[in-house]
Amino acid sequence: MSEDLEYHSLENALIAFDVPTENRAFLSKISAVAPLARFVRTSGYIRADRADGGPSLNIAYGWTNGFVSEQEVRDIFGDVEAWPSGRRGLWFVWHPENRGGKPRGGSAGADRIYEICPRCFIEMPPSGVCDRCES
């Protein structure tokens, strides 16, 4: 995609990004705790800018990162497992429906969680070198 697209709501952005219905219901809980002001579709995720100027949330098909703490993840989604993000000092959560066979809804039980690439925000393979941007 050569140009980023902006949407008026999280729901519109998720539909346009073809996020599954189960994940859209899961993600609808975000705005109750982290009010969002702007939604921009990039080549690999939706960037949701916070109304309070906090870190943007990067929402991909199967995960979201950019939460300020493990507690913020639990405040939004309830009893799910939060994971440290590749974005220093931030956290991420797996969505119920994801392509990587990861724990549904962020539940515990993954054998191993790999780092998220700091440039394109996709999960890196065990080698630690991003397949997309080679960083």
Please write the tens of the pLDDT for every residue from 68-96: 999 999 999 999 989 998 888 999 999 99
Q: Is the separation of the CB atoms in 106 and 94 below 8 Å?
A: yes
Higher local confidence (pLDDT), 12 or 111: 12
H or E element, residue 94: strand 91-94
**The pLDDT value given to residue 100:** 65
**The pLDDT value given to residue 107:** 43
Q: How confident is the model at residue 102 (pLDDT cuts 50, 70, 90)?
A: low
State the virtual CA torsion across 19, 91, 99, 118 in degrees, nearest 10.
100
9 φ, ψ to 5°? -150, 160
29-67: per-residue pLDDT in tens? 998 788 899 999 988 889 999 999 999 999 988 899 999
Q: How confident is the model at residue 125 (pLDDT cuts 50, 70, 90)?
A: low
**The pLDDT value given to residue 61:** 86
Write down the pTM of the prediction: 0.72
**The pLDDT value given to residue 110:** 43
- Burial pattern 38-48, b for ≥16 Cβ within 10 A else e, equals ebebbebbbbb
Q: What average pLDDT does this structure show over 11-39?
A: 90
